[in-house]
Structure 1
Amino acid sequence: MNQALLHPDVQAFIRQQEGADLYRLALQKVAFEGVRTEEILNQIQFLKKIKSKVPYFYAQYHKGKALVFPPLLSYEQASSQTSAEWKAEILAQQLPTNGTFADLTGGFGVDCFFIGSKAGEVFYVEQNPLLAQIVAHNFALLGLEARFFPLEAETFLKQCLSENKILDAVLIDPARRDSAQKKVFLLADTRPDVVALLPLLAQSAKQILLKTSPMLDIKAALAELERKGFWVEKVWVVSVENECKELLFLLQNERYFNPPITTQNLPSIEAVDFVKNGDSALIKKTFCFSFWEEENASASYSLPQKYLYEPSSALLKAGAFKVSALRLGLSKLHAHSHLYTGARFEPTFQGRIFEIQHLSKLDKKEISLLIPEKKANILVRNFPLTPAEIAKKLGFQQGGKAFLIATTQKENKPILIVATKINQF
């Protein structure tokens, strides 16, 4: 870590220039003794970005704590504060008093900081020694005591075994980029390879909280994870403002936690949506089910009624296609449309809710009469045309307050639904 970044003049400049045009600063070649222009710009850019993603770190920086920020790739890979605090709640329920927690893929340390605040002893493991040094500096300023290990996860776990140390819980968020920095989505392609680590983890950790790409196939991952001394108790599909961000798997070590005799409802699958409540605050909505329950649910089908329900991205990724509608007494429009309808307003539904105004064919004249401003948010669900193609056929612009939902209803009949969104989701 470049200690020159801690000089009071450098810190004051970074705070003063937070709102500055970085391109202009780059042309000026701003630099201080021992600090290059690129380093200054990186600090300012990182500070700008964490304002919304990790507001606690941002606030502490502006209170005068000289946090140091690593290259921007660490920002892209870091959890948000909302997600990290929620993961801390999960593990707090699992950890014994003064339990031991290790983050085996420490990164910028957001997860480790918030989860570590709930643990008795904290181990931060990160194979990049510079990143580990930066996080050690930041944690000291932020008041979290932790032990730092600039090692690969495998080396750290072998060290734990040599010392007969059994960890109460570990977090693994493996890198989802290959050597060429291209994104990867299979567990075997991440670094570290979690599946290959399971035998070693089975000897050194009681529980694992595994964070993966939202693109990962959940059922395929379960088949890989349940082979080597662990059983999966729960899977969370996490979405922030209706964008699926991550999957979390809670694995229990068979040496310490016996799986229930009846396992048809395991693992429990929970779709978690963090959605805006008012202008800024995020509230959490959850829907819990099992694959067994979904497979044994029977969907009903109906023509569009008064309300149209579009499930959240978390529900869809989790695979709650039938059970989410069944519990609220809603009907599906079509087996493959994943849109539901009902005569009653169901405010607890996890997703967007629309009030249907009109039903129509893809007819330019008719739709123009229904939406005379010729502007609408065009959504496509199980329909042969794209939103852009529909807009072109109708002579419409996309946007505005009206919604035009193109889908297929029962008996494979295409339909356009003119609707108004009536919830904040």
Structure 2
Amino acid sequence: MNKAILLQPVQDFLHQYRDASPSDIALRKSPFSDVPSSALAQQIDGRQRAARKIAPWTLVAGIYYPEKLSLEQCSSEETGHFKASLIRRGTKLIDLTGGFGVDSFYFASTAAEVSYCERNNDLAEIVAHNFQTLGLENIGCHPGDGLSLLKASNEHFDYIYIDPSRRVQQQKVFRLQDCEPNIVEHQTLFFSKARCILSKLAPLLDISLALQTLQYVKAVYVLSVQNDCKELLFLQEQGYEGDVQVHAVRILPQRRQIFSFNYAEEQAAESSLGPLGAYLYDPDVALTKAGAFKSLGNRFGLTKLHPHTHLYTSARLQADFPGRRFQVMAVHPLRSLKKGICIRKANVITKNFPLRVEDIRKKFKIADGGEDFLFFCTLHNGEHAAIHAQRLPEE
């Protein structure tokens, strides 16, 4: 950490060029003898990245930004707020894999005491400075490996929070046991130090496989922002033996939509299959990742187009559906599509369909974009078709 960056003339420069191209700044000669151009560019780039994920931090003078990897891997303001809502007020939490400290920051708004651990000493120094700059007084910063610190500690915590790395020796890993640290291997240690474990896991993780390897899972949260699955959260509570509650959380600009179910309910449900109605529904990615296929349609009284086509329909609009809602304009059977369709520009989506989007565009000469949507899918009778629809605004 170059503390010369915190000097007022440097801070004034960074504020003046906050919207400049970092690469342009890196190529210029630095006006400061003790701060190279590359360091100035890193601060400007970091602030610009933070503005897209944790905008409130960029309004505070003196925040120090680390290398871009730490910012790419950190949580966003939206997901940080949500995780903090899962923690009981007045509790003690230890964050074993602190990173840039975003999650610890939001946990501190709910927990009485947060212990932040980070094995990268340079990053830990930056985060300790930022916490002080942000005025946080209930976070203790502990440079070093979180597991080693936990083993050596005599404290007992209400929560252990962990975000294991999905990149090991420069290679991406997908099994929970291959992540670092291995949370499956260390469950006994964790439960000897805390009653609850909250783990942030990769969106690509197979939820059912994780449930087979983790003990006492009470709840799973699937978080999406702008129809992009951002995080899986597994909450374990020592001794819990009930059904796992699954919560598909759709984070919108001004509100959250949460669809909760359990897998016993999903397995017992029967989908109502039938023809296309006046409205079409495309569930948010949080719902599909969570596996709420049959229970979703039943809960909202919708008809499914096909057992493997995850689109729903109804004669009357269901305004609270957790996903995109469309008004159906027409349906074109594939066998007569070239003669029956005159749309030359549309958003093409495939659901349970044998052709790829790029192949469909080429075959039917459809440009990308515009107000129209074409859903190429399989209907309840097995027929392939293109549904022409227009999206309805969010309420």
TM-score (norm 2): 0.96
Alpha carbons 2:22, 2:42 under 8 Å: kept: no
1:348 paired residue among 290, 295, 320: 320
1:121 aligns with 2:113: yes
**5 Å matches for 1:192-231?**
192-226=181-215, 231=216
The equivalent of 2:102 in structure 1 is: 110
The equivalent of 1:246 in structure 2 is: 231
The equivalent of 2:166 in structure 1 is: 176
**AA at the equivalent of 1:16:** Q
For residues 37 and 312 of structure 2, what CA distance do their matches in structure 1 show? 55
The equivalent of 1:406 in structure 2 is: 376
The equivalent of 1:57 in structure 2 is: 57
For residues 129 and 22 of structure 1, what CA distance do their matches in structure 2 show? 25
Unaligned runs of 5+ in 2: none
Q: Which deviates the most, 286-295 or 356-365?
A: 356-365
**AA at the equivalent of 1:187:** L
> By how many angstroms is 1:234 displaced?
0.6
Alpha carbons 1:367, 1:394 under 8 Å: kept: no
> By how many angstroms is 1:387 displaced?
1.5
For residues 316 and 72 of structure 1, what CA distance do their matches in structure 2 show? 31
1:367 paired residue among 341, 353, 369: 341
Alpha carbons 1:125, 1:148 under 8 Å: kept: yes
**AA at the equivalent of 1:267:** V
The equivalent of 2:16 in structure 1 is: 16
The equivalent of 1:232 in structure 2 is: 217
For residues 360 and 309 of structure 1, what CA distance do their matches in structure 2 show? 18
Per-residue CA distance 1:225-257 (angstroms, 9 max, x = gap): 11xxxx111100000010000100111122xxx
Alpha carbons 2:305, 2:312 under 8 Å: kept: yes
The equivalent of 1:78 in structure 2 is: 74
**AA at the equivalent of 1:74:** S
Q: Which deviates the most, 117-126 or 212-221?
A: 117-126
Identity %: 40
1:422 aligns with 2:383: no
Alpha carbons 2:25, 2:40 under 8 Å: kept: no
Per-residue CA distance 1:250-300 (angstroms, 9 max, x = gap): 11122xxxx35xx3xx1100000112xxxxx34211100000000000111
Structure 1 residues 48 and 270: alpha-carbon distance in aligned structure 2, compared to 1, 3 A threshold:
same
Per-residue CA distance 1:169-201 (angstroms, 9 max, x = gap): 121111121211x33222112111111221111
For residues 245 and 104 of structure 1, what CA distance do their matches in structure 2 show? 20
The equivalent of 1:158 in structure 2 is: 151
**AA at the equivalent of 1:44:** I
TM-score (norm 1): 0.90
Alpha carbons 1:171, 1:210 under 8 Å: kept: yes
**AA at the equivalent of 2:180:** R
Alpha carbons 1:117, 1:144 under 8 Å: kept: no
The equivalent of 1:321 in structure 2 is: 293
> By how many angstroms is 1:158 displaced?
1.0
Per-residue CA distance 1:212-231 (angstroms, 9 max, x = gap): 001001111011111xxxx1
Per-residue CA distance 1:43-69 (angstroms, 9 max, x = gap): 000101111310110111xxxx31111
For residues 330 and 41 of structure 1, what CA distance do their matches in structure 2 show? 52
> By how many angstroms is 1:302 displaced?
0.3
Structure 1 residues 208 and 67: alpha-carbon distance in aligned structure 2, compared to 1, 3 A threshold:
same
> By how many angstroms is 1:117 displaced?
2.2
Alpha carbons 2:97, 2:162 under 8 Å: kept: yes
The equivalent of 1:387 in structure 2 is: 357
Alpha carbons 1:31, 1:40 under 8 Å: kept: no
> By how many angstroms is 1:31 displaced?
5.1
**AA at the equivalent of 1:403:** F
1:272 paired residue among 233, 249, 257: 249
Alpha carbons 2:94, 2:114 under 8 Å: kept: yes
For residues 29 and 355 of structure 2, what CA distance do their matches in structure 1 show? 50
For residues 22 and 115 of structure 2, what CA distance do their matches in structure 1 show? 36
Per-residue CA distance 1:15-57 (angstroms, 9 max, x = gap): 1111112332222232522222211111000101111310110
**5 Å matches for 1:22-41?**
22-30=22-30, 32-41=32-41
Alpha carbons 2:248, 2:286 under 8 Å: kept: yes
Per-residue CA distance 1:114-164 (angstroms, 9 max, x = gap): 11122222211111111111100010111112211112122111122xx2x
SS at match of 1:412: coil
For residues 46 and 172 of structure 2, what CA distance do their matches in structure 1 show? 22
1:137 aligns with 2:122: no
Per-residue CA distance 1:332-382 (angstroms, 9 max, x = gap): 1111111111111001111111111111123223111xx3xx111111001
2:330 paired residue among 355, 358, 369: 358
**5 Å matches for 1:250-329?**
250-254=235-239, 259=240, 263=242, 266-275=243-252, 281-329=253-301
Unaligned runs of 5+ in 1: 276-280
The equivalent of 2:43 in structure 1 is: 43
**AA at the equivalent of 2:168:** D
The equivalent of 1:278 in structure 2 is: none
Alpha carbons 1:364, 1:393 under 8 Å: kept: no
For residues 159 and 117 of structure 1, what CA distance do their matches in structure 2 show? 27
For residues 147 and 404 of structure 1, what CA distance do their matches in structure 2 show? 53
